[in-house]
Amino acid sequence: MKILVTGGCGFIGSNFINYLLKKYPRIKITNLDLLTYAGNLANLKDIEKDRRYKFIHGDIIDGRLVNRLMSEKPDAVVNFAAESHVDRSLYKPADFLSTNVFGTQVMIESARQHNIKRFIQISTDEVYGSLGLKGLAFKETNRLDPSSPYSASKAAADLLVKSYEKTFGYKAIITRSSNNYGPYQFPEKVIPLFITNAIADKPLPLYGDGLNIRDWLYVEDNCRAIDLVMRKGMPGEIYNIGGNSERTNFYITKTILKLLNKPLLLIKYVKDRPGHDRRYAIDISKIRKQLNWQPRYKFEEGIRKTVDWYLNNKKWWKQIKTGEYLKFYRKHYQT
C-alpha cells in the first residue's frame, strides 16, 4: 500500500507514520511537510533511512507539487497538515485560513483530478463548539458551531470536503478526534507545556477556573482509528474518535504535578482566553459499531506514559522551547 501523508512531521502525523511503518512491513509512505515551527524532522529520526519512507519539503498550497505527488497514484491520502493551536489563531487567523482552508482545497481538488480512491481529512471535535455540562456528547450529525478562528477554519475545510461529494461525487472521509496527547507533541499545547514547565519548576498557566472539560485521547489510539478508517471506512462518512476520558483542566494539571512529585503551588491561574469552550465530549458509537474500534488507554495510563516520555526525551523538547516559540510563550503566557 502506498500512502501520501501531509503534515507528517507534526505531532499526530509523525506518530501515525511511525505506527504504520511498525505495523505494515510492505507499506510505502511519502510525507509532505512545510516544516513550520511545529513540524520537526526529529520526530521521525528513527525512520529517516527506512527505504519505505520518503520526505518531501513543501507546502500543500503548492498546486504543482501536490499534483506531482498525486500523479504517483497513492492508494490513500491522509491530510494532517494544519495550523492547530487555538491561542495562535487568536493572533494570526490568516495563517489558519491559508493552510487549513486553501491548502485543503488544493489537496482535495488534486486528489479528485487524479482519481485517488481514499482521501482522509483529519479534523477536530472543536468544529462542534461547546457542550453543556450534563450528559451530552457530539455525534457526527451535530451542527457545526466553531468558537475560534482555528475551529472555524477546520469547520470550513470540512464543509469544503463535503461539498466535493455533493458537487463532484468525490467521497472523502473526515475524522474528528478529541484532544490528543502523547509523545512528540509541541510544547505549546497544555499537556506538554505543563509537563515541561513542571519538570523545570516553572509556573503552569491554567486558564480561568480550570474547570473546562475535554475528552482526552492518547495519540496511539487515534493512529489506530485513522488506520482503520483509511482501510475500511465508508467513503463520504464522518467518524468521531474519542478517548472516553473526560477530565477537567484542573484534574490534568493536578495529575501531572502528582506524577512529577511537584507542588500545587506551581499552578498559576491566568485570565481565560476569548471564546474558550466549556466542554467537549465525543460519541464514538459509530466508529465502534462500523469498524469495531474503541480506545485502549484511559487517561491515567496514557498520561503516565506521556510524562515518562518527556522525562526521557528532555533534549527533544529543550531544543524546541527556544526561538520563535519562546517569544510567543513569553508574550502570551508570562504576563
Reported as type and span, the H/E element at residue 217 is strand 213-218
Task: Taking each helix axis as running N to C, give the angle between helix 63-70 and helix 104-113, from 0 to 180 degrees, rounded to the nearest 10.
Answer: 40
Q: Answer yes or no: 126 catalytic.
A: yes
State yes or no: is 125 an active-site residue. yes
User: Is 83 considered catalytic here?
Assistant: no
Catalytic: which of 33, 83, 126, 221?
Answer: 126
Tell me if 102 sits within 8 A of 154, measured CB to CB.
no
Which residue among 53, 150, 170, 218 is the active-site one? Answer: 150
Q: How many CB atoms lie within 10 A of CB 316?
A: 17
Residue 69 CB contacts under 8 Å (≥ 6 apart), including other chains = 4, 30, 32, 56
Is the distance from CB of 225 to CB of 293 less than 8 angstroms? yes
Selected catalytic residue, list 83, 87, 125, 158: 125
Contact 233, 173 (CB under 8 A): yes
> What's the rounded Cα separation, in Å, for the pair 29 and 76?
10
Catalytically active residues, by annotation: 125-126, 150
